[in-house]
């Protein structure tokens, strides 16, 4: 009543949701040189064939922030089949939402058809998550279907104008994240939105609107109902955003980490574990911000290492030899995470290699160090070793020795081999262990020699 009274006094009319605020170049300040020529080519081709077409979503958000987008999405009123016919290398993908991938060399432009109002007849699970919905509609309906106001703006390269249906430009200027529509209903439709808003808040250093934040602690458990592969994709985006540490801190703050990496609850409460994970994520963030490649295998090997350490120690305490014990520990940890994170086989293989190399770094006699130099994943294993040294898990002398050995020439390496290995001497058992007889199949559970490549480095 009070709001209506104020509006009547001030003569303020309720905004028509079908009519966008149109911003010209001087108002929005987007630099056209930051726009992908291929994205412009896609919008122009569609427009030349009588369709509407705009750059949309995160690319527009980044352009408004003066940042060159990594990816460009295009929204159009052309159907996926109509889009596909206009481009030589175009592929329709997706079941839940059909989209078209248009390829230009190594660059991929994702093209979506304007979504219509969500149909009540769309298949949903028992929690309200939409399973499939390919209802097409008008542009203003498409804007309503987008998740956050800052992601619901459209940029037309031809006219250099921005169309804003939900006050996104105001929220960008206020550095505020606000969901479109009823927060609880939108999170039920797609629980991954809760992870996305955490990623944006950490990456952009934006504040989450109180109404948008309120349902998250209560609805966090819905993420358990999302397919593991989709959660893994979102986690990968989060961890490789260049703000991984801030993202994980935000996840913990919002209570969203339990179903994703619950082991972080334990690790981050242990001094060595917290320091190790913090260093790993900080190093990853620096590499991303410097434009260097980042290895998902290295990243997840770092996050899960202290769980492997715990199980490795348990197997050794139970009488298992160190190397087989490490392989068994790796098996247990990877099997436990498969259902939760849907780790890809290549990533899991890289993780095994990195872990399996760690005890080999302690063998600094004879030909063993030279053989390790030939390992395809040496750089990853070495970088991992340095993290262990920096966190205080092992003596820094071993990392310094390997740095000198890898950088040294033949004579320098021989001198290093002639030195008494400090760590190896300290780690030597007090008495010789009796030799085990019989088959040890567990020793073959990992392949420390496979996967990865030296050029990719630790990250």
Compute the distance between CA of residue 93 and CA of residue 100 in angstroms, rounded to an integer.
Answer: 6
Compute the distance between CA of residue 117 and CA of residue 142 in angstroms, rounded to an integer.
Answer: 8
Give the strand pairing for 99-104 and 161-164. unpaired
- Those residues whose C-beta lies under 8 Å from the C-beta of residue 59, and which sit 6 or more positions away, are 39, 69, 71, 72, 73, 155
Among residues 62, 133, 142, 147, the one annotated as catalytic is 147
Edge-first strand order for the sheet with 153-156 is 21-23, 161-164, 153-156, 53-56, 72-76, 107-113, 99-104, 90-93
Of residues 254, 19, 63, the one with CA closest to residue 172: 63
**Structure token pair of residue 440:** 């040890």
Of residues 387, 361, 380, the one with CA closest to residue 372: 361
Question: What residues pair up with 104 in beta bridges, in sequence order?
Answer: 107
**Residue corresponding to tokens 């030939």:** 374
DSSP for 74-118? EEESS-HHHHHHH-SSEEEE-SSS-EEEEEETTEEEEEEEPB-SP
Compute the distance between CA of residue 301 and CA of residue 351 in angstroms, rounded to an integer.
Answer: 5
Q: Is 321 exposed, middle or buried (0-12, 13-18, 19+ CB in 10 A)?
A: middle
Half-sphere exposure of 44 (CA within 13 A, CB side): 10
Q: Is 121 exposed, middle or buried (0-12, 13-18, 19+ CB in 10 A)?
A: exposed
Is 71 among the residues known to form the active site?
A: yes
DSSP for 224-273? GGS-HHHHHHHHHHHHTSS-HHHHHHHHHHHT--TTT-THHHHHTTSHHH
**Residue corresponding to tokens 């990392």:** 399
Is 73 among the residues known to form the active site?
A: yes
Among residues 71, 331, 332, 395, the one annotated as catalytic is 71
**Residue corresponding to tokens 């159009």:** 76
Among residues 62, 73, 133, 350, the one annotated as catalytic is 73
Compute the distance between CA of residue 106 and CA of residue 38 in angstroms, rounded to an integer.
Answer: 11
For the chain, how big is the Rg over CA atoms in Å? 27
Q: How far is CA 124 from CA 118, 133, 190, in A?
A: 11, 9, 10
**Structure token pair of residue 429:** 């058992």
Which residues are annotated as catalytic? 71, 73, 147
């Amino acid at each position: 009543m009070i709001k209506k009274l104020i509006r009547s006094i001030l003569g303020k009319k309720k905004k028509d949701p079908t009519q966008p605020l149109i911003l010209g170049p001087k108002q929005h300040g987007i630099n056209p040189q930051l726009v992908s020529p291929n994205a412009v080519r896609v919008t122009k081709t569609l427009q030349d064939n009588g369709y509407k077409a705009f750059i949309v979503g995160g690319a527009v958000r980044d352009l408004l922030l003066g940042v060159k987008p990594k990816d460009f999405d295009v929204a159009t009123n052309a159907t996926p089949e109509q889009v596909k016919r206009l481009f030589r290398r175009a592929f329709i993908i997706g079941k839940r939402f059909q989209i078209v991938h248009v390829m230009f060399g190594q660059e991929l432009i994702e093209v979506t058809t304007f979504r219509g109002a969500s149909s009540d007849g769309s298949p949903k699970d028992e929690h309200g998550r939409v399973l499939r919905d390919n209802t097409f509609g008008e542009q203003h309906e498409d804007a309503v279907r987008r998740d956050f106001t800052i992601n619901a703006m459209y940029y037309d390269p031809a006219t250099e104008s921005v169309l804003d249906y939900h006050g996104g430009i105001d929220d960008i200027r206020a550095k505020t994240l606000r969901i479109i529509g009823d927060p609880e209903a939108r999170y039920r439709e797609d629980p991954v939105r809760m992870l996305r808003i955490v990623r944006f808040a950490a990456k952009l250093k934006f504040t989450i609107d109180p109404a948008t934040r309120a349902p998250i602690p209560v609805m966090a458990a819905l993420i358990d109902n999302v397919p593991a592969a989709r959660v893994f994709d979102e986690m990968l985006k989060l961890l490789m955003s260049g703000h991984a540490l801030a993202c994980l801190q935000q996840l913990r703050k919002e209570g969203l980490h339990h179903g994703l990496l619950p082991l972080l609850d334990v690790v981050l409460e242990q001094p060595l574990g917290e320091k190790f994970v913090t260093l790993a994520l900080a190093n990853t963030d620096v590499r991303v911000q410097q434009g260097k490649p980042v290895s998902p295998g290295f990243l997840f090997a770092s996050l899960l290492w202290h769980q492997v350490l715990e199980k490795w120690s348990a197997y050794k305490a139970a009488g298992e030899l160190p190397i087989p014990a490490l392989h068994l520990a790796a098996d247990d940890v990877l099997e436990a995470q498969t259902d939760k994170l849907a780790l890809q086989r290549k990533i899991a293989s890289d993780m095994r290699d990195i872990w399996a190399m760690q005890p080999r770094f302690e063998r600094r006699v004879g030909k063993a160090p030279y053989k390790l130099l030939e390992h395809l994943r040496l750089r990853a294993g070495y970088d991992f070793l340095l993290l262990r040294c920096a966190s205080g898990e092992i003596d820094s002398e071993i990392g310094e020795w390997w740095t000198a050995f890898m950088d040294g020439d033949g004579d320098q390496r021989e001198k290093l081999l002639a030195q008494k290995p400090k760590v190896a001497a300290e780690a030597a058992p007090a008495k010789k262990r009796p030799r085990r007889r019989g088959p040890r199949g567990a020793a073959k559970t990992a392949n420390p020699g496979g996967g990865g490549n030296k050029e990719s480095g630790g990250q």
